Structure 1
Amino acid sequence: MSELKEGQKAPEFTAADQDGNTVSLDQFAGKKVVLYFYPKDDTPGCTAEACDFRDNYQGLKAKDIVVLGVSVDDEKSHQKFAAKHSLPFTLLADTDKKIVEAYGVWGEKNMYGKKYMGTNRTTFVIDEHGVITHIIKKVDTKNSTAQILELLNN
C-alpha cells in the first residue's frame, strides 16, 4: 500500500474500544480527530504520550477535537491501561492489524540490533471532512498535544 499523504481522505475503519463498543471514523464527521498510533500499552513512551493527552484533554475537547489512540493490544489490555492512568479518551484495539496497515504505520522496527514487526508511533490529524491535514512521524511523547496544537495554529 502506498504511503498516506496530507490532503488525502483518511482511511475508514471500525474497531472495538477498551469497553467493547464499536467505533468508526465516520462517527466523528464534523469534528477534528487526533488519531494516534502507539506501539504498546503501559510502556514508558506510550504512557508518557497517553498521559500528555490526558493532561491536555479538556483543552482539546474545548476545541472540538476527538482523541483516538490505536495499538494492536486487545480490549482487556486497553481497559487496564486506561484505568491505571485515568485516560478519558478512546483506545481502539486493532488486534487484526487492519487499521495500522491501512494507515501505513505497521513495519519493521529495530531494537538493540533485533529486527521485528511493530507499530511505528505516528499521529494523524484529520479534519471535519475526513481529510488528513497533518502527519507527525517524529512524535514528542511528553509534548504531543503541544506539537499538534502548534500545527493547527499555523
Structure 2
Amino acid sequence: MPINWNSQMSKKSTTRFLTSTLLLTSFFLSFSASANSNVWEGTPFLSFSLADQTGKIRTNQEFSGKWLVVYFYPKDKTPGCTIEAQNFTDDYAKYQALGVEIVGVSYDDIAAHKDFAETYELPFTLLADTEAQLSKAMKVDRLLPWPHASRQTFLVNPQGIIVQHFKKVKPKEHSAELLKSIRRHQENKS
C-alpha cells in the first residue's frame, strides 16, 4: 500500500523535512564545488611532450627551475583567444622580468599555431595538443559545441608544482590578474 504523505506527516513536518533536505543538498554542492576548485593546487604539473609552432618537440623538463604559465585556450585566431594572446604579448616583458615562461595549449595543429604566432607576433610557445592528451589529463577538454580545450590557466613554480589554477578566465583581464598572482606567489616563495 503506498504511503500517503499527507496522512503520515503534518504540513509543518513536511516543510521542515523539505527545508532540511534543501539545506543539506546546498551545503554538499557548495562544499563539492569549493573542494573541486583547488584539486590541482599543490600537485606536480603533468609531463608532456608536444610539438610547438615551429615543429620542435617541447617537454615540461625544459621549463624545470622556472616559473611557468600554462594556459589552455579553445582555438587559434578566435576573438577571445586572440585578445588573451595579445595581452600576454603586450605584457611579455613583465613576465620575462619576473622570470616566467608562457606556454599556450590548444587542439590546433602546428601550421595553425605557426600562423597564429606569426600573424600576432606572439613571443611565447604554443603547443599543438592535437590528440588532446594533455588537455584530457588536465581535465580541461570539452566536447560541446565542438571538441576543444576550455580556457583555463595553471601557474607552476620552479619546482614544477601547480601553485594556482585559474578555472574561470576572462581574456581581457587575465594577464593583469595573472601578473598580480605571480608577484604574490614569488613574494611568498611558493
TM (norm. structure 2) is 0.74
Aligned length: 148
Counterpart in the other structure of 1:17: 52
Structure 2: tracts of 5 or more residues without a match: 1-35, 185-190
User: Which runs of structure 2 are paired with 1:81-92 in the superposition (5 Å)?
Assistant: 81-92=116-127
Over the residues paired in the alignment, what is the CA RMSD in angstroms? 1.5
Specify the SS of the correspondent of 1:67: strand
Q: Which has the larger radius of gyration?
A: 2
Q: Are 2:62 and 1:27 equivalent residues in the alignment?
A: yes
Counterpart in the other structure of 2:101: 66
Q: Counterpart of 2:85 in structure 1: which amino acid? A: A
Q: Which protein has the bigger helix share? A: 2
Q: 1:29-62 CA deviation, whole Å, 9 max, x = no partner?
A: 1100000000000000000000000000011011
Q: Which runs of 4+ in 1 moved over 3 A?
A: none
Counterpart in the other structure of 2:42: 7
Specify the SS of the correspondent of 2:123: coil
User: Which runs of structure 2 are paired with 1:130-141 in the superposition (5 Å)?
Assistant: 130-141=160-171
Q: Cα distance 1:153–1:62, how it changes in 2: closer, same or farther (>3 A)? A: closer
Instruction: Write the distance in 1 (CA, Å) between the matches of 2:109 and 2:127.
Output: 8
Structure 1: tracts of 5 or more residues without a match: 110-114
Higher relative contact order (CA 8 A, sep 6+): 1
Counterpart in the other structure of 1:112: none
Is the CA contact 1:140–1:147 (under 8 Å) kept in the aligned structure 2?
no
Is the CA contact 1:100–1:119 (under 8 Å) kept in the aligned structure 2?
yes
Instruction: Write the distance in 1 (CA, Å) between the matches of 2:75 and 2:143.
Output: 15
Q: Which protein has the bigger strand share? A: 1
